[in-house]
Amino acid sequence: MSSRVYLLNGPNLDLLGEREPEIYGRHTLADIETLCGETAQRLGFELIARQTNAEHEMIGWLHEARRAAGIVINPAAFCYHSVPILDALRLCDGPIVEVHISNIYRRSETWRSHSILAAACTGVITGLGIEGYRLALEYLARLSAAAAPGARR
């Protein structure tokens, strides 16, 4: 059983912390990766953390993550239109948590509330800031523990 978990962040999240702090807070992508790295270490996961602005790169990483213990993905604006990413998510065997830093149901642009990728994910965490990433990893750890041989059901 793999102990590898992928943390994948989508377009523009490399600039987090620079604009719109009232919506996204002041944390940077580096803060997210540090938080997730520490959390993964505590939970016994090997974390692969990546960010891209390119759809094809995200798809390649999802292929790589097909047999991972889990995926935490903030697809950013890919979630509104990317059928290729939807298909790639559906090819993954493990649990997938979609994370959004802002509450996508609470935004003034109502189109932001409909992620086409959510249907291919185990669950979605939205609006809890960067804490959402930590909670997603903790959820994946619970699933892994429950699936481990000898685990009580």
Question: Comparing C-alpha atoms, which of 38, 64, 67 is closest to residue 50?
Answer: 64
In this complex, which beta carbon is closest to ligand CA2, that of residue 76 or of residue 85?
76
Per the listing, tokens 């604006």 go with 77
Check if 100 is active-site: yes
Active-site residue identified among 100, 105, 114, 139: 100
Q: Which residue type sits at 53?
A: N
Confirm or reject binding of residue 19 to ligand CA2 (CB under 6 A).
yes
Q: Least CB distance from residue 131 to ligand CA2, whole Å?
A: 12
One of 8, 72, 76, 86 touching ligand CA2 (CB under 6 A): 76
Contacts for 21-25 with beta carbons within 8 Å, 24 or more apart? 23/102, 23/107, 24/101, 24/102, 25/101, 25/129, 25/130
In this complex, which beta carbon is closest to ligand CA2, that of residue 77 or of residue 91?
77
From residue 83 to residue 122, the character string flagging contacts with ligand CA2 as x (rule: CB under 6 A) and all else as - is -----------------xxx-x-------x----------
Phi, psi for 70 (deg, rounded to 5):
175, 165
**Is residue 69 within 8 Å of residue 85, measured between CB atoms?**
no
In this complex, which beta carbon is closest to ligand CA2, that of residue 108 or of residue 148?
108
* Alpha carbons within 13 A on the beta-carbon side of 103: 7
Check if 81 is active-site: no
Q: Least CB distance from residue 126 to ligand CA2, whole Å?
A: 7
In this complex, which beta carbon is closest to ligand CA2, that of residue 23 or of residue 147?
23
Active-site residue identified among 6, 24, 27, 133: 24
Per the listing, tokens 């685990």 go with 151
- Catalytic residues, by residue number, are 24, 100
